[in-house]
Amino acid sequence: MSVEITRLPSGLTVVTDAMSHLESVSLGVWVGAGSRDERPDEHGISHLLEHMAFKGTKRRTARQIAEEVEAVGGDLNAATSVESTSYYARILRADVPLAVDVLSDILSNPTFDPEELQREQNVIVQEIGASEDAPDDVVFDKLQETAFPGQSVGRSILGTRETVRSFDRKRLAAYLARNYRSPDMVVAAAGAIDHRALVEQVAQQFASFDGQAPPTPAPAHFAGGNYIEKRDLEQVHVALAMQGLPQRDPNLFSMQIFTSVLGGGMSSRLFQEVREIRGLCYSIYAFHAPYSDTGMFGLYAGTDATDLPELMRVVVAEVANASETITEVEVARAKAQMKAGLLMALESSSARAEQLARQIFAWGRPMPLAELVAKIEAVTVESARAAGRALIARGRPAIAALGPGSGLESAASIAEGLVPRAA
């Protein structure tokens, strides 16, 4: 890799990874503000702002924004998460100045036209409706809310129909001015990119974001608890979460290896025991989502209502068992999966740019591949087991269950059996 990084006097970071064999560039702006940065009366405003950025500026209409990028064969998109929002383009090398100009324009000069705003509010309300019709989406929203009750980190990214419709141009502009500040922004690019030229363009065109860093969100508190909703569905969708680790925790990689061994693929313990041996479900997996000051370890499965109690008993047993019996073979396999994932991501300019931006937010610098691999290799059988034991010991899990049948409450009680095992 050929990674270069420049921090402008404003605090904005520009990081690039030159890939000489490519003719295209993946380029984006990552802002360290997402749904977690919303005040109680701003639920969903981060996502709405992401949509509205493309709906017209002082120099371009919404149609012109789309047409100018697509006229050179490029594409433009954006995404909102709990702790960040990204706006990105993929273009040919000659069109990098255009992409920088468009990205800076949509963030520094949005008009928030009332007619466009009303239309986009309707679009997001439709998106909320579509999400509510997808039980595997609903169960994760409810899991997050149960894990972090009464906190912005626990609220859905989309917002509610009421909150989304309540926002006007003044409130959008105030949220943007408060949170989109240079010290909390990263411009990342990978592909056929000239670092020095990009720095010059960014310094000129992102000058309006100069200012102090935005306020830090309140610390997250993992509470746990149960959410049960009976619905007329074919399956029960169940998700379980426990307090995980933040991005900079020294045990993060051990936690990731534990998660992979437990439910990271077809060879994982949960997939083999729950699906392959017992045939209790079609889909089951584990994940770990690290945030800046906390994390969430989670499990998901979809199963028949009559099989739910057995599935939960097996899941509880496997989580506890893995924390004591993970083997050298399993750790080696999980390490190989993680390293392969890193290397495969390096083949994609989009994945490279995103990885660089996330590393800046997590560690304040790009992390060389050799350092990442060394952290993975440093995980031992005992450190992976210890990560599992510490996970269980952190306290009451959060459980969300959605579907038919009368056994949802008992399944939640079975899941809470993880807590006594930690004693």
Q: DSSP labels for 158-203?
A: S--HHHHHH--HHHHHHHHHHH--GGGEEEEEEES--HHHHHHHHH
44 Rama class: left (phi>0) / alpha (psi -120 to 50) / beta: left
What is the CATH number for 315? 3.30.830.10
Give domain status of residue 216, yes or no: no
* pLDDT band, very low/low/confident/very high, at 279 (cuts 50, 70, 90): very high
Last residue of a domain, one of 148, 183, 209: 209
Query: For 250-260, what is each residue's pLDDT tens digit?
Result: 999 999 999 99
pLDDT score recorded for residue 210: 87
Residue 339 lies in a domain: yes
Q: Mark whether 256 and 197 lie in a shared domain.
A: no
**What per-residue confidence (pLDDT) applies to 419?**
67
248 in the same domain as 179 = no
The answer for residues whose C-beta is within 8 angstroms of residue 408's C-beta and 6 or more apart is 228, 230, 236, 308, 401
Q: Which helix (H) or strand (E) holds 283?
A: strand 283-290
Domain edge (last residue) among 209, 240, 257: 209
Q: How far, in Å, are 139, 147, 302 from residue 400 at the CA level?
A: 6, 9, 12
The answer to whether 57 and 106 have CB atoms below 8 angstroms apart is yes
Contact 293, 246 (CB under 8 A): yes
200 and 244 in a single domain? The answer is no
Over the stretch 350-397, which tens digit does the pLDDT of each residue have?
A: 999 999 999 999 999 999 999 999 999 999 999 999 999 999 999 899
Q: Based on the domain organization, do 296 and 397 belong to the same domain?
A: yes
Read off the pLDDT of residues 304-354 as tens digits, 9 standing for 90 and up: 999 999 999 999 999 999 999 999 999 999 999 999 999 998 899 999 999
Residues 202 and 260 in one domain: no
Q: 293 in a domain, yes or no?
A: yes
Considering the domain architecture, whether residues 361 and 280 belong to the same structural domain is answered as yes
**Residue 81, both tokens:** 């998460």
Residue 262 pLDDT: 97
Q: DSSP assignment of 223-273, as one string?
A: --EEEEEE---SSEEEEEEEE---TT-TTHHHHHHHHHHHHSSTTSHHIII
Report strand pairing: 185-191 vs 13-18. Answer: parallel
- Measure the CA–CA gap between 127 and 121, rounded to whole angstroms: 10
pLDDT at 423: 39
Of the residues 153, 177, 209, which one is the last residue of a structural domain? Answer: 209
300: tokens are 């998901």
Which backbone phi and psi does 27 adopt, to 5 degrees?
A: -135, 135
Same domain, 194 and 239: no
359-363-364 Cα angle (round to 5): 90
219 occurs within a structural domain? no
Compute the average pLDDT of residues 51-66: 96
How many Å apart are CA 23 and CA 66, to the nearest integer?
Answer: 21
* pLDDT for 421: 46
Average pLDDT over residues 100-120: 97
pTM of the complete model: 0.93
Whether residues 202 and 252 fall in one domain: no
Which residue matches tokens 């720095």?
Answer: 199
Q: By residue range, what is the domain housing residue 314?
A: 225-421
Please check whether residues 142 and 247 belong to one and the same domain.
no
**How confident is the model at residue 65, as a pLDDT?**
97
Residue 217: inside a domain: no
User: Could you tell me how far CA 411 lies from the centroid of its own chain?
Assistant: 28
Same domain membership, residue 242 and residue 187: no
**Which pLDDT score is estimated for 422?**
39
Residue 220 lies in a domain: no
Q: What is the pLDDT of residues 238-253, one digit of tens each?
A: 999 999 999 999 999 9
Q: Tell me the percentage of the chain whose pLDDT exceeds 70.
A: 99
Q: What is the pLDDT of residues 195-226, one digit of tens each?
A: 999 999 999 999 999 888 888 999 999 999 99
Q: What mean pLDDT is predicted for residues 104-126?
A: 97
Q: Identify whether 218 is part of a domain.
A: no
Torsion, CA 330, CA 334, CA 335, CA 338, rounded to 10: 180
301 lies in some domain: yes
| Residue 194 sits in the same domain as residue 79 | yes
Name the residues annotated as catalytic.
50
**Whether 99 and 180 share a structural domain:** yes
The total number of structural domains that make up the chain: 2
